[in-house]
Structure 1
Amino acid sequence: MHIGELARRTGASAKAIRLYEEQGLLGPVPRQGVYRLYGERHLQQVLLIRQAQSVGFRLAELHPLLAGGEEPDWPELYQRLQGKRAALRAEIRRLQRLDAQLGRIGEEIHACIAGQPQADQALCAAEPAQRSALLHEA
C-alpha cells in the first residue's frame, strides 16, 4: 500500500509516517520507483507507535524497543509501560493532595467571605503569605 492508504488506515499523517521511517521505527520500506510500498507489518508498527504515543510514550522512548522495524521487544515494552503506570499513579496522588489542599483553602476563603462565625479570623485578616503559613499549620 502507498503512504496515503497507510495514513488513512492508521490515522497517522503521511509526515508522521515518514518521520517514523526516518527514525528507523518501521524498518526497511521497499520502494517502487519513487513510491514507498508499505505492508501489513508496517501498518501494525504504525498502529503500535500511535497507541504508545497516546498513552505518553515519546518516539525517543520507543526507538530502542522498535528500532529496525522487527518484532517489538515485548518484555521491555511491558516494563516501560509498568513504569509509566507507576509514574501516573504517583502523579494522581500528588494531584489529589493538591486538590484537597485547594478545597481546604477554598472553604476558609468562603467562610471569610460569608462572615461565618466558625471562620478563623486570624486567617481572614492575614496577608496571602501569612494565610498560606497558617493553612499549612492546620
Structure 2
Amino acid sequence: MYIGKAAQLSGTTIKSIRHYEDIGLLPAPQRRGNYRVYCEQSVERLMFIKCAQQLGFKLKEMLAILDDHRGQTLPWEVVRNAVTHKKQAVMNQIQALQNQHAGLVEFETRFLGAHELCQLQNL
C-alpha cells in the first residue's frame, strides 16, 4: 500500500510517517518507482507509535524501545518494561502535583487569613 493508505489505516499523517522514517523510528519502506510501499507491519508500527504518543511516550523514548528491533513483530517484553517505567513516572508526577496542590491550598489559606487581618487593622 502507498503512504496515503498507510496514513489512513494508522490514523496518522503522511508528514508524520516521513518524519518517523527520517528519525529512524519507522524503517524505510520498499519503493515501487518513486512511491513508498508499506506493508501491514509498517501500519502496525505506526499504530503503536500513535498509541504510545497518546499515552505520553516521547519519540525519543520510542526510539529507545525499538532501537535494535528490525524484526516483523514488536518487542513486547521491552514495551512492557517501558510501560511499567512510564506508569511509575506518571505516579511520581501525580504525587508531585498533589504536593504542589496541597502547598497552594495552604498558601491560599494563610494569605487570605493575613489579608483579612490586615484589613481589620486598618479599621
Q: Do these two structures clear the TM 0.5 threshold for a shared fold by scoring above it?
A: yes
Q: Kindly state the Cα deviation for residue 90 of structure 1 after the two structures are TM-superposed.
A: 0.9
Give the match for residue 79 of structure 1.
Answer: 81
Shift of 1:23: 3.5
Deviations 1:69-106 (A, max 9, x none): 53111111111110011111011111101100110110
Which deviates more from structure 2 when the two are superposed, residues 63-72 or residues 105-114? 63-72
Identity of counterpart residues, as a percentage?
A: 32
Runs of 5+ unmatched residues, structure 1: 122-138
Q: Which residue of structure 2 aligns with residue 21 of structure 1?
A: 21
User: Considering only CA atoms, is the larger Rg found in Structure 1 or Structure 2?
Assistant: 1
Q: How many residues were matched structurally? A: 117
Residue of structure 1 in register with 2:72 after alignment: 70
How much is the aligned-residue C-alpha RMSD, in angstroms? 2.2
Mapping of 1:48-59 within 5 angstroms? Answer: 48-59=48-59
Which deviates more, 83-92 or 54-63? Answer: 54-63
Paired AA for residue 74 in structure 2 = P
Select the structure with the greater relative contact order (CA < 8 A; seq sep ≥ 6): 2
Distance 2:71 2:111 in 1: 57
When normalised by structure 2's length, the TM-score is: 0.81
> Structure 2 regions of 5+ residues with no counterpart?
none
